[in-house]
Amino acid sequence: MGTADASSKDVAFSLAEKKPKVVFVLGGPGSGKGTQCANIVQHFGYTHLSAGDLLRAERDSGSENGNMIQNMMNEGKIVPSEVTIKLLEKAMLESGNDKFLIDGFPRNEENRAAFEAIGRDDDNIETIRKRFQVFLESSLPVIEYYKAKGKVREIDATKSIEEVFEAVKVIFSPKDEEVKKCCAIL
Ligand code: UDP
Ligand code: MG
């Protein structure tokens, strides 16, 4: 089954799956980060992402976080990691590239730990593998039990949400008197 919209978890997962190469470009203001990033982009095909620029663009977009970002920046404070990381993830995914120079981020330990937490791709993939194995070993026999009794209605869940729901509707439609007797396994 799919999900209604791309949650930040989905975005993080699809990003982690790509195993992107991420280089943090760190250094004091005026140290020439931007200039060298431009050179690296030209010569090595990286995509340059400035966390500060992404935050300014988000502030100017009139989003609900706009005022908060403005206030934090005016005070020279660090915007909550969640906000900055979401912008970085989105930009990384939209770029289509798999090599990034992230400039001006992470700015503190919390930034760093939060960014690393989204990159635990192996954990996620491994967990999904384990869950699928448990499904095959333990849950499939339950479906087989009901199938043998003619109580299973199967649906192809690889299609779009709308198409899958069309099939669900058929099963639950009052015309199908059998729905009272059976259970549907999606
Ligand atoms: N900022 C932030 N988190 C980041 C990057 C920037 O909160 O990951 C905010 C912070 O308030 C900072 C301001 O954006 O003072 C400007 O950052 P930028 O990197 O653009 O400044 P630079 O160091 O390049 O002058
Ligand atoms: Mg800068």
pLDDT by residue, tens only, the chain of 186 residues:
433 444 555 666 667 777 899 999 998 888 889 889 999 999 999 999 999 999 999 999 999 999 999 999 999 999 999 999 999 999 999 999 999 999 999 999 999 999 998 887 656 777 778 888 988 999 999 999 999 999 999 999 988 998 999 999 999 988 655 555 555 554
Decide: 37 in ligand 1 pocket, CB within 6 A: no
Atom of ligand 1 nearest to the CA of 105: 8
pLDDT for res 3: 38
- How far apart are the C-alpha atoms of 18 and 93, rounded to whole Å? 10
pLDDT for res 15: 73
Supply the pTM of this predicted model. 0.66
pLDDT for res 180: 53
Residue 151 amino acid letter: K
The closest residue, in CA terms, to atom 16 on ligand 1 is: 52
pLDDT for res 45: 96
The closest residue, in CA terms, to atom 6 on ligand 1 is: 52
The closest residue, in CA terms, to atom 23 on ligand 1 is: 29
Decide: 84 in ligand 1 pocket, CB within 6 A: yes
State the ligand closest to the CA atom of 102: 1
Question: What is the 3-state secondary structure of the chain?
Answer: CCCCCCCHHHHHHHHHHCCCEEEEECCCCCCCHHHHHHHHHHHHCCEEEEHHHHHHHHHHCCCCCHHHHHHHHHCCCCCCHHHHHHHHHHHHHHHCCCEEEEECCCCCHHHHHHHHHHCCHHHHHHHHHHHHHHHHHHHHHHHHHHHHCCCEECCCCCCCHHHHHHHHHHHHCCCCHHHHCCEECC
- How far apart are the C-alpha atoms of 12 and 177, rounded to whole Å? 43
State the ligand closest to the CA atom of 74: 1
Q: Pull the structure tokens for residue 185.
A: 């396994």
Helices 121-134 and 8-17: angle between axes, nearest 10 degrees: 100
The closest residue, in CA terms, to atom 18 on ligand 1 is: 52
